[in-house]
Amino acid sequence: MIERGHGRVINTTSGIRNEPEQAGYAASKAALDKFTKDLASRLDGTDVVISLTDPGWCRTDLGGPQAPNAVESVIPGISVGAFVDDRRSGRFLHAQLFTGMTLEAAVAKAEQMEATPYAI
């Protein structure tokens, strides 16, 4: 992507907390968050943008039927990082903040959000 001069990376994280029975899953997400932060510091200002997104607690096989969010609620927030065009890496995009928005409105909102390697 760097050689081509353009690319988007969207890593999917989790807000899971205080569930020791899912420690392996949570640890893998913590490692992904750290990797994303570190890589963002190198990519910021290029046209290769890396972001983290959290879909929120959704009713899936993993989330279970008690989860408050329908899977459809993550649209467009789960993919908005693919469409930002301001060369700022390191955003944390909580998908539920974009629920019900058009893609254009979601991108405009995302581009107004803090984007630093340490804001994730």
Sheet strands (E) in 5-89: 7-12, 48-54
Residue type at position 103: L
Tell me how far apart the alpha carbons of residues 65 and 3 are, in angstroms, rounded to a whole number. 44
9-20, pLDDT tens digit by residue?
A: 999 999 888 889
63-120, pLDDT tens digit by residue?
A: 899 999 999 999 999 999 999 999 999 999 999 999 999 999 999 999 998 765 444 4
Domain ranges of the chain: 7-112
Q: 97: which 2 tokens?
A: 């903040």
**How much is the pTM?**
0.86
Give the residue among 100, 98, 56 at the shortest CA–CA distance from 79: 98
For the sheet with 48-54, list strands across it.
7-12, 48-54, 91-94
Round the CA-based radius of gyration of the chain to a whole number and report it: 15
The b/e string for 66-79 (b: 16+ C-beta within 10 A; e otherwise) is: eeebeeebbbbbbb
The residues, ordered by sequence, that sit 6+ positions from 98 with a Cβ below 8 Å of its Cβ are 76, 77, 80, 106, 109, 110
26-36, pLDDT tens digit by residue?
A: 999 999 999 99
